[in-house]
Amino acid sequence: MALGCVVASRAERQLARRAAVDSRDFARGKELPAEILRISAQSPSADVLRYAAERLLHGEVVAIPTDTVYGLAADPFNLSAVEEIYRVKGRPEDRALPILVNSLDQAMLLSREVPRNFLRLAEEFWPGALTLVVDASHRLPLKVTANTGRIALRWPRSEVVARLIEEFDGPLTGTSANLSGSEVCSDAQQVFGQLGNRLNLILDAGETKVTAASTIVELHHDKWKILRVGVISVKEIEDALQ
């Protein structure tokens, strides 16, 4: 199936879902603290996921647990939602936003070209704590890439993330849920402490098992470079690419 058809059908499904969502106003007012909803990391509630997906469909930013640290999820195709992430984090707009996917096929649809090393690393470490930076599809808004045309993709080993992406019917942003320059957050209370007055919803699955961020590898043709060492070591990357 052509990429244009995939993106178009996704947009049509989301428009239909927006029309079906209760017309109540989800805006809670920024003077109110974030709502915290408990969710099981292993067996996430379908009702909670549906509620979070509805917020995302309305262009909101939702804090979610991942397999590393808590992240900020939003619709990467919605420019208002993308701008809201930069506002919530106080993130400089010259820094791109990573994208979370729930399949290799989904990642490839967001990439303009897929280097051989992309497939080798993805097959070795996905789902998991590895972020791969590649040329972005022209379908992605340039703002998501910080006008670089490059995109950071990750498929987390997280049932919450995988099922939320499925419920939302599309990829989500995955930047860490913290104020820019501050410590990353490994539980919902830490997220609330930093961003409680800037968010409407936090999904609380307890403390994440891993408190380190993902390892980031930049790929360009056959060349590769580690931009950040995280959960996956340099040696593991080198071994996978030998």
**Is the predicted pLDDT of residue 120 greater than 50, yes or no?**
yes
Residue ranges of the domains in the chain?
A: 29-241
> How wide is the angle at C-alpha 212 spanned by C-alphas 207 and 217, nearest 5°?
135
Confidence at residue 35, expressed as pLDDT on a 0 to 100 scale: 97
Q: Quickly state the pLDDT bin for 113 (edges 50, 70, 90).
A: confident
Q: What is the mean pLDDT of residues 185-211?
A: 95
Q: Residue written as tokens 């804090």?
A: 63
Q: Residue 5 pLDDT > 60, yes or no? A: no
Q: What's the confidence (pLDDT) of residue 224?
A: 96
Token pair, residue 186, equals 């490994």
Q: What is the pLDDT of residues 53-105, one digit of tens each?
A: 999 999 999 999 999 999 999 999 999 999 999 999 999 999 999 999 999 99
For the 29-241 domain, the top CATH level (class) is: alpha beta
Contact 95, 112 (CB under 8 A): no
- Whether residue 23 has pLDDT greater than 50: no
Please give the pLDDT value at position 163: 98
Instruction: Note the pLDDT of residue 212.
Output: 85
Full-model pTM: 0.87
Distance CA 2, CA 101 (A): 19
